[in-house]
Structures are given as structure tokens and as C-alpha cells.
């Protein structure tokens, strides 16, 4: 038998989490951190542990040793969780504890990258999107061609879109961005625009899978980040792209892979690319020095790089037009030659 799916939470831990951490993600991370702390120090009850006056410095040292070979982000967040737990329960670590632990080599050895993420190719994205629902197709094409974070995309309102602009564009409001920084205008492909139009045409009448109402909302994509991820995972499974990192067991393609696709595929200069993706240090420099139309035109010229189905490169369109013109001129010349030849033949007769 495996571990129970919903293990009982230590009462002291439960009370601490519910009182101090309204954010679900933080609460989940800190819960995992303190459970590992209890497990490694063989603590049965945190309330009793606190009353007995623990040797916090020594316990922290033992806990840190259990974090060896874990990803850097995990080490940082798990350590912060235990430090916060001690602080909130009036247990102070010695003044130089962290300096001593660092100097004497007790801090865990970290892994800088946990899972080897992959960037999907255009062919793979086409397969993924072919197996997606209408809402999934709209979301994935938008993410792949705009470079937006999924969090800010899910907060986009219909009023934030300008589907008549060329290229189509969306306004990312400051309050929806990471840390409230990164307000900007982004652009997306024609095929993403068409997919969004298809989704918006049925959104308000489409019932949710749990049977609780429809997707009627001012938001374009009125669902959560986990729901968006599960939509992608379902399409990945059907497309035969459910690969996992053999070391971590985690998927190598995930919702962030679409942002990675944009970054490596768009073909714009580094400053503009990073600015469109909402990296604040670039928004404060090169991006702001450019005219909106210049950025829009640069994106338009490179739109084909992040378009999954259509060939939308202006250069290719121009080449096709020039080829058609040459064919017409050639056909006209051939018709004149044919007419001349017919006249010569008739003259001999």
C-alpha cells in the first residue's frame, strides 16, 4: 500500500499555514517543507516539539543535510519555510547560524536545473494543437505566438484585445503581470486571432466540465493555470509527446514550453524579444525607445516564425506575387509568339 492520498495534517502545522499564508501555492510548498522536516527529525507532533524547547540550530543543520541534491528553488523555499515556522513560534536561531553553516559546508549541494525542458518544434506543436479543443487551440496558439506568461494570459479580458489591428494585439495590464511589473502591448499571429474568434463565438454558451455553469465571463480564458496545464497534457498524450525526464519523472513539455518556443523562434533582436515577453529590465530600456508601429512592423515581418500552420512571411508573399507576375508576363509573350506564328503560317497559305 502506498502513502495515503490525503494524509492527516499536524494540527499545529495546519493552524500555522491557515493563519499566515492565504496564497495556495505558498501554503502547499510550506506544507511539503514542514512535513519533510518532521519526517527527517522523527517529530511526531509539532506542538509537543515546540513546547520541549528544541535545539533549533542543530535541527536546522540536520534538516539541511536532507536537502542535498535537490533543486536550488526547492532548497531556498524549503529552508525559508522552516525559518518562518521557527520565527512565527518565537524560536530564534543564533545570530551567526547561517554564516557558520555556510562556512563549514553544511548548506546542501544544489542542482541548478531539475528537469531538462524541451522546446517543441512547429511540427510537434501542430500535432498538439490538432488534438486540442477549441479553447485549447486558441490558448496555445496565442501563447506560442505572443510569448506571454500563462498567468497574465489567463487574466486577459476581451476588452484587452484588438483583433482588427495588423498584427493583432493585446494589452497586458500591469496588475496582471508578474510582481506587478511588465505592462505592455503584445502581438500574436493571424491564426491565433482566428482561433480566439472561434472560441469567443461559443465561449459564453459552452458548459464547464464540472457542470457548474458556462464560461461566460469578461475574461478570454476563464479557467485556472492547472486547468490550462491539464488541457495541454491531454493533447500531449494524444499526440504521443508525453516524454518525461528519466531523472525526475517530470514532463519535458509543459505550458511554459510555448513561451520558450516564442523566445527561440521569433527572430527579433534580443531587447525587443525580452521586452515583448515582459522582462522588466528590457521594458525600461530599448523597448520604450522604439515607436509602437516599428515594433508592430518588426513583429509582422517575423510572424511566420511563430505561426504553426500558415506561411505568413511578407518576404515569401512578395516572392509569390513576383513569381505570379513573371508567369503572367511569360504567358503573354507566349501568346504573342503563338499569334505571330499563326500569322506566318496563314501567310504562306
Smallest CA-to-CA distance from 153 within 132, 134, 128, 171 is with 171
Note the pLDDT of residue 111.
45
Q: Note whether 84 and 171 are same-domain residues.
A: no
Same domain? 277 vs 139: yes
In sequence order, what are the beta bridge partners of 169?
A: 162, 187
Instruction: Note whether 58 and 187 are same-domain residues.
Output: no
- Give dist(CA 21, CA 84) in Å, integer: 11
Q: Which domain holds residue 340?
A: 318-349
In a domain, 311, yes or no: no
Q: pTM for the full model?
A: 0.61
Average pLDDT over all residues of the chain: 81
| 65/136 same-domain check | no
The domain boundary, picked from 56, 76, 111, lies at 111
Torsion (CA) 296, 301, 310, 322 in degrees, nearest 10: 140
Report how far residue 24's alpha carbon sits from residue 33's, in angstroms, rounded to the nearest whole number. Answer: 14
Q: What Cα–Cα distance (Å) separates residue 29 from each residue in 17, 82, 118, 224, 296?
A: 10, 11, 25, 19, 40
How confident is the model at residue 189, as a pLDDT? 96
What is residue 135's predicted lDDT score, i.e. its pLDDT?
95
CB 174 within 8 A of CB 183: yes
Higher pLDDT, 5 or 291: 291
How many other C-beta atoms can be found within 10 angstroms of the C-beta atom of residue 231?
19
CB 134 within 8 A of CB 195: yes
At 255, give phi and psi (nearest 5°): -60, -30
138/261 same-domain check: yes
User: How many domains does the chain fold into?
Assistant: 3
Q: Are 35 and 61 within one domain?
A: yes
pLDDT digits (tens, 9 = 90+) for 158-181: 999 999 999 999 999 877 776 666
**What's the longest Cα–Cα distance across the chain?**
123
Q: Is residue 194 part of a domain?
A: yes
Looking at the structure, do residues 24 and 96 belong to the same domain, yes or no?
yes
Residue 66: per-residue pLDDT:
73
Q: Is residue 258 part of a domain?
A: yes
Same domain assignment for residues 103 and 146: no
Q: Does residue 176 share a domain with residue 288?
A: yes
pLDDT digits (tens, 9 = 90+) for 60-118: 778 877 776 666 667 778 888 888 888 888 887 666 665 665 554 545 554 444 556 67
324 in the same domain as 301:
no
The share of the chain scoring above pLDDT 90, in percent, equals 34
- Among the three residues 63, 88, 111, which one is the final residue of a domain in this structure? 111
Q: Looking at residue 239, which CATH number applies to its domain?
A: 1.10.443.10
pLDDT band at 315 (very low <50, low <70, confident <90, very high): low
Contact between residue 193 and residue 168 where contact means Cβ atoms under 8 Å apart:
yes
Is residue 6 domain-resident? no
2 in a structural domain: no
Neighbouring CB atoms inside 10 A of 12's CB total: 18
Residue-wise DSSP of 121-177: PHHHHHHHHHTS-HHHHHHHHHHHHH---HHHHTT-BGGGEETTSSS-EEEE-GGGS
Whether 15 maps to a domain, the answer reads yes
Domain shared by 133 and 65, yes or no = no
pLDDT, tens only, 13-52:
989 988 888 877 788 888 888 888 888 888 889 989 888 8
Amino acid at each position: 500500500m502506498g502513502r495515503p492520498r490525503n494524509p492527516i495534517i499536524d494540527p499545529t502545522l495546519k493552524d500555522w499555514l491557515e493563519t499566515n499564508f492565504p496564497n495556495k501555492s505558498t501554503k502547499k510548498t510550506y506544507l511539503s517543507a514542514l512535513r519533510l522536516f518532521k519526517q527527517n527529525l522523527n517529530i511526531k507532533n509539532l506542538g509537543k516539539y515546540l513546547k520541549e524547547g528544541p535545539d533549533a540550530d542543530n535541527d536546522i543543520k540536520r534538516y539541511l543535510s536532507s536537502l542535498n541534491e535537490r533543486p536550488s528553488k526547492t532548497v531556498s523555499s524549503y529552508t525559508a519555510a522552516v525559518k518562518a515556522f521557527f520565527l512565527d513560534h518565537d524560536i530564534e536561531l543564533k545570530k551567526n547560524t547561517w554564516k557558520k553553516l555556510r562556512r563549514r559546508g553544511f548548506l546542501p549541494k544544489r542542482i541548478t536545473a531539475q528537469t531538462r525542458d524541451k522546446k517543441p518544434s512547429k511540427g510537434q506543436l501542430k500535432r498538439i494543437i490538432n488534438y486540442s479543443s477549441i479553447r485549447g487551440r486558441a490558448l496555445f496558439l496565442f501563447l506560442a505566438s505572443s510569448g506571454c506568461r500563462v498567468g497574465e494570459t489567463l487574466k486577459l479580458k476581451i476588452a484587452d484585445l484588438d483583433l482588427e489591428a495588423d498584427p493583432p494585439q493585446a494589452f497586458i495590464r500591469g496588475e496582471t503581470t508578474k510582481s506587478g511589473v511588465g505592462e505592455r502591448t503584445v502581438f500574436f499571429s493571424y491564426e491565433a486571432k482566428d482561433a480566439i474568434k472561434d472560441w469567443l463565438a461559443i465561449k459564453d454558451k459552452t458548459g464547464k466540465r464540472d457542470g457548474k455553469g458556462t464560461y461566460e465571463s469578461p475574461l478570454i480564458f476563464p479557467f485556472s493555470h492547472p486547468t490550462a496545464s491539464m488541457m495541454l497534457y491531454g493533447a500531449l498524450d494524444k499526440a504521443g509527446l508525453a516524454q518525461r525526464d528519466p531523472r525526475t519523472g517530470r514532463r519535458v513539455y509543459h505550458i511554459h514550453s510555448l513561451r520558450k518556443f516564442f523566445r527561440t523562434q521569433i527572430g527579433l533582436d534580443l531587447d525587443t524579444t525580452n521586452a515583448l515577453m515582459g522582462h522588466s529590465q528590457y521594458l525600461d530600456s530599448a523597448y520604450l525607445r522604439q515607436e509602437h508601429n516599428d515594433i508592430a512592423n518588426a513583429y509582422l515581418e517575423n510572424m511566420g516564425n511563430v505561426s504553426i500552420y500558415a506561411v505568413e512571411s511578407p518576404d515569401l508573399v512578395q516572392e509569390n506575387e513576383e513569381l505570379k507576375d513573371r508567369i503572367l508576363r511569360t504567358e503573354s509573350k507566349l501568346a504573342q509568339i503563338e499569334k505571330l506564328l499563326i500569322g506566318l503560317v496563314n501567310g504562306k497559305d
